[in-house]
Amino acid sequence: MPANQFAESIAHHLKYSMGKDPEHAQIADWRIALSLTVRDHIVDPWFASTRATYAGHHKRVYYLSMEFLIGRLLEDAIVNLGLMDLADGALKQFGVSLDEALADEPDAALGNGGLGRLAACFLESLSTLGVPAYGYGIRYEHGLFKQSFVDGRQKEAPEDWLQQDHVWEFERTESAYTIGFGGTVATKGKSAVWTPDEAVIAQAHDTPIIGWAGRWANTLRLWESRSTKLFDLDRFNAGDYAGAAEPEAWARTISRVLYPDDTTDEGKRLRLKQEFFFTAASLRDIIRRYDYEFDDISKLSDKVAIQLNDTHPAIAGPELVRILHDEKGLAFDDAMACAQKCLNYTNHTLLPEALERWSVELMSDLLPRHMQIIEQIDDAHHKAYPKRTVTLHDEHQVKMGELAFVMANRVNGVSALHTGLMKETVFKDLNALHPNRIVNQTNGVTPRRWLLSANPRLSRLISDTIGTAWVDDLEQLGRLEAQADDAGFMERYTAAKRDNKAELADWYKATHGVALDPEAMFDVQIKRIHEYKRQHLNILEAIALWLEIKGNPNADWTPRVKIFGGKAAPGYVFAKEIIYLINSVAAVVNADPVTSKVLKVVYPENYNVTLAERLIPAADLSEQISTAGKEASGTGNMKFALNGAPTVGTLDGANVEIRDLVGAENFFLFGMTADEVVARREVTDHAAKAIEADPRLKRALDEIAKGTFSGGDRDRFKSIVANLSGADYFLVASDFSDYWRAQREADSAFADRGAWAKMALMNTARSGWFSSDRTIRGYMADIWGAKSVTADL
């Protein structure tokens, strides 16, 4: 398309789709007009994809997830459609900067962290690979809260991504389902009739997800809850205006806000309602589409593969059985077998407190028919496996992990280590009964967003060196290894990182008023704040380092900037204390004239996908320091490695596989293994012993206790000090000494810039396996039995 035509299309949309006079258009208006123009380029491939799927009667993959952490969409679409130069040139004609337009888009944060971001990477890879697929989730009016710091403490404010026109979605008024709750069950022969006493409407909104090179587009279908009645006219006419709007307001609460908790099983009725709401609507939609195309419902699994992203949609098991048995008339056992062939479950955590359980009372009250079916599933499972029984409910609770497992064809973990631990721990008994059901699918990340678009400098160098095929064949990066001895290439590789760091420093100075030295090592830890992720281990090391530098200021220190990013669940008190401590340490350390040239601690507010895209390309060192056995996989770790930041990390999650691939010599390993962690917990006073054995750790804790970071207030961080010197469940103290050692090794390595650049390059060159394209191929082959349709075209 010629540049003029592209510009004309923008002008046309501004005027006729948006009713804006270009004279008065703001940056948001230009951004939306550009989005509408780009969107026009998506529609044809989108329709073609749907038609090809129907024409070939292909199997479809359905990815059910409570969370899709998609971030901004415009740049992704422009990059995948190859429209960057056109868009840039066209906006210039109007005197508008493309960068500013891209930066104006709100970041869609319909997720908490890794699980939600994984779902977003998977959607993009499914489209890139040309697999017929739908993502199904909830269209939250408010995504993850906005984080700010007030005097160092986290403050939450509502997120409002839908304040401006959101032109990426199409509302489908014809796709709406009534979803019931509560009520009664009447028996009818062998099956039952459920009559709910409360109902809401699930209204579909579709967002096309375009794959690389615009070859294929799938749909993300998000459900919005609406009232079945518009408003109560009688109450309105009686003058009760607030009361009249109540049914509408009440129904809408289901899709009002994303649960910001990723630790505790919130015992909330609303959460269970959200789960059933989107799962039931999605299943109805899936079956409607199947019925339109095929006759024999018992063959559903030939054409339908459903992936449950954790247990949040696990009610899909009983709901699908209910539809097949109560509504479609299959015998109960046939209904159960049919559902099992369609469903698959991904586990993302082994932390006991994060495994979902619902009380039998709540389940019976909200979903009475489903509770009966859960009992029947349990009985059927017991009958089939009489020797060992695994009950789906004990202590009057329904265990959603067990339910998802029993109702799944395949169950998967998200890294080799995690899958192994699943078999040995939470699902030990079920694994013994169903030895082939658990499979591993190590996570991956989309290289289009996390390299091509987030790191244009490095991408350009890669494409200049090995061509552009790496973009959808990431293992081609291996060819970069041969460049390690080419001085010209290494100079450009180093320059790309230096320029990314300078850009980050400029942004930080402009937004936070603090200067960062781009020559220093940028040491980055970005992820949700959690005790098991051990941000407190990192900040303790910062304190110890600060003290060490103060004691010997003229030594040859490797300058470091420690960068933190991440949100704490609003109800997670200890995580919020860690944030407060990091900010308090930053304030003291950054103001110290003796040390501030070689050590800074910074914590930009409101970490999100957009900030990750800024930080990762500028990182020198990737902090992946969780207690071994606790991080299911990690995906940030992969993004850093790909962008040339070696890891300092434990043998946890996918770190293990990263180290195997990039080479032990290009990874700063420290800490106990998962087995050693279990053994160490048995040692009496393990924390006290570790502190006694390491004077640096002792001093660091003493400084906190003395009030050095709290204006002399000795009580402020009492809970942290008490935890770390007491129970210390996540073994921060026991891993400290080895962490310190690994960090000093990183310091020395960084001082040799040439050698460091080679380590970084090996991380880039050997991380191609961590593409989510590889992960999706694994799911296609081992779990879904789905095919790439573009591969046949």
Positions marked active-site: 348, 527-528, 533, 635, 639
Residue 260 CB, nearest approach to ligand 26Q (Å): 8
Tell whether residue 156 is a contact of ligand 26Q (CB under 6 A): no
Binding mask 202-231 toward ligand 26Q (x if CB under 6 A, else -) reads ------------------------------
Task: Tell me the helices (H) and strands (E) count for the chain, helix number first.
Answer: 33, 24
Task: Kindly identify the residues of this chain, within the stretch 647-686, that bind ligand 26Q according to CB under 6 A.
Answer: 653
Q: Cα angle vertex 784, ends 380, 475, to 5°?
A: 145
Specify the amino acid at residue 139.
R
CA distances from 596 to 481, 520, 547, 559, 580 (A): 37, 11, 12, 9, 20
Q: Which is nearer to ligand 26Q, 674 or 690 (CB)?
A: 674
What is the H or E stretch that residue 4 is in?
helix 3-12
The closest alpha carbon to 91, from 2, 1, 10, 5, belongs to: 10
Tell whether residue 112 is a contact of ligand 26Q (CB under 6 A): yes
Q: How far is CA 84 from the centre of its chain?
A: 26
Q: Which is nearer to ligand 26Q, 633 or 643 (CB)?
A: 633
Q: Which is nearer to ligand 26Q, 49 or 344 (CB)?
A: 344
The closest alpha carbon to 612, from 637, 578, 575, belongs to: 637
What is the H or E stretch that residue 416 is in?
helix 416-424
Crossing angle of helices 718-725 and 695-706, in 10° steps, is 150
Residue 568 CB, nearest approach to ligand 26Q (Å): 13
Pairing of strands 170-181, 198-210: antiparallel
Stretch that binds ligand 26Q, among 9-17, 401-409, 605-613, 629-637 (CB under 6 A): 629-637
CA dihedral 86→216→109→646, nearest 10 degrees, is -80
Tell whether residue 368 is a contact of ligand 26Q (CB under 6 A): no
Tell whether residue 348 is a contact of ligand 26Q (CB under 6 A): yes
> Among 407, 408, 632, 720, which residue sits at the site for ligand 26Q (rule: CB under 6 A)?
632
Give the residue nearest to ligand 26Q (CB). 114
Backbone phi, psi, residue 375, to 5°: -60, -40
> Among 106, 114, 318, 368, which residue sits at the site for ligand 26Q (rule: CB under 6 A)?
114
Residue 566 CB, nearest approach to ligand 26Q (Å): 12
DSSP state of 618: G
The CB density around residue 650, as the number of other CB atoms within 10 Å, is 29
Stretch that binds ligand 26Q, among 85-93, 111-119, 432-440, 771-779 (CB under 6 A): 111-119
Task: Report d(CA 617, CA 432) in Å as an integer.
Answer: 44
Tell whether residue 566 is a contact of ligand 26Q (CB under 6 A): no
CA distances from 645 to 340, 517, 610, 617, 628 (A): 42, 17, 18, 8, 21
Tell whether residue 70 is a contact of ligand 26Q (CB under 6 A): no
Specify the amino acid at residue 571.
G
Tell whether residue 775 is a contact of ligand 26Q (CB under 6 A): no
Tell whether residue 633 is a contact of ligand 26Q (CB under 6 A): yes
Residue 627 CB, nearest approach to ligand 26Q (Å): 12
Place of tokens 């002792």: 698
Tell whether residue 109 is a contact of ligand 26Q (CB under 6 A): no
The closest alpha carbon to 349, from 406, 426, 442, 438, belongs to: 426
661 DSSP β-pair partners: none
Stretch that binds ligand 26Q, among 201-209, 257-265, 367-375, 685-693 (CB under 6 A): 257-265
Binding mask 430-459 toward ligand 26Q (x if CB under 6 A, else -) reads -------------x----------------
CA distances from 74 to 31, 167, 295 (A): 9, 10, 40
Q: Which is nearer to ligand 26Q, 417 or 430 (CB)?
A: 417
Tell whether residue 266 is a contact of ligand 26Q (CB under 6 A): yes
> Among 8, 248, 265, 302, which residue sits at the site for ligand 26Q (rule: CB under 6 A)?
265
Query: What's 257-304 look like in SS3?
Result: ECCCCCCCCCCCHHHHHHHHHHHHHHHHHHHHHHHHHCCCHHHHHHHE
Q: What's the start-to-end Cα distance of the chain, in Å?
A: 24
Q: Which is nearer to ligand 26Q, 417 or 645 (CB)?
A: 417
Stretch that binds ligand 26Q, among 107-115, 279-287, 594-602, 694-702 (CB under 6 A): 107-115
Stretch that binds ligand 26Q, among 194-202, 453-461, 591-599, 627-635 (CB under 6 A): 627-635
The CB density around residue 239, as the number of other CB atoms within 10 Å, is 8
> Among 541, 631, 694, 703, which residue sits at the site for ligand 26Q (rule: CB under 6 A)?
631
Q: How many residues bind ligand 26Q, per CB under 6 A? A: 23
At 146 the three-state DSSP class reads strand
Tell whether residue 349 is a contact of ligand 26Q (CB under 6 A): yes
Residue 382 CB, nearest approach to ligand 26Q (Å): 27
Task: Annotate 204-240 with DSSP letters as a single string.
Answer: EEEEEEE-GGGS-EEEEEEEEEEESSS--HHHHHTT-
Residue 72 CB, nearest approach to ligand 26Q (Å): 20
Q: Give the pair of three-digit tokens for residue 205.
A: 């909104």
Tell whether residue 137 is a contact of ligand 26Q (CB under 6 A): no
Tell whether residue 98 is a contact of ligand 26Q (CB under 6 A): no
Q: Which is nearer to ligand 26Q, 353 or 395 (CB)?
A: 353
Within 13 A of 32's CA, how many CA atoms are on the CB side? 20
Tell whether residue 623 is a contact of ligand 26Q (CB under 6 A): no
Q: Cα angle vertex 663, ends 660, 667, to 5°?
A: 100
DSSP state of 790: G
Q: Give the pair of three-digit tokens for residue 296.
A: 């024999």
Task: Kindly identify the residues of this chain, within the stretch 746-765, that bind ligand 26Q according to CB under 6 A.
Answer: none
Tell whether residue 774 is a contact of ligand 26Q (CB under 6 A): no
Stretch that binds ligand 26Q, among 496-504, 626-634, 738-746, 757-765 (CB under 6 A): 626-634
Tell whether residue 261 is a contact of ligand 26Q (CB under 6 A): yes
> Among 12, 146, 256, 271, which residue sits at the site for ligand 26Q (rule: CB under 6 A)?
271
Stretch that binds ligand 26Q, among 98-106, 192-200, 361-369, 625-633 (CB under 6 A): 625-633
> Among 115, 133, 179, 477, which residue sits at the site for ligand 26Q (rule: CB under 6 A)?
115
Tell whether residue 347 is a contact of ligand 26Q (CB under 6 A): no
User: What's the farthest any 2 CA atoms get from each other in the chain?
Assistant: 86
> Among 141, 262, 531, 548, which residue sits at the site for ligand 26Q (rule: CB under 6 A)?
262
Q: Which is nearer to ligand 26Q, 578 or 697 (CB)?
A: 578
Pairing of strands 621-624, 521-526: parallel
Q: Which is nearer to ligand 26Q, 533 or 716 (CB)?
A: 533
Tell whether residue 413 is a contact of ligand 26Q (CB under 6 A): no
Residue 143 CB, nearest approach to ligand 26Q (Å): 13
Place of tokens 């609770």: 397
Stretch that binds ligand 26Q, among 185-193, 216-224, 348-356, 738-746 (CB under 6 A): 348-356
Tell whether residue 113 is a contact of ligand 26Q (CB under 6 A): yes
Residue 768 CB, nearest approach to ligand 26Q (Å): 19
The closest alpha carbon to 452, from 764, 762, 761, 661, belongs to: 764
Could you list the residues that contact ligand 26Q (CB under 6 A)?
A: 112-115, 118, 259, 261-262, 265-266, 271, 348-349, 354, 356, 414, 443, 631-635, 653
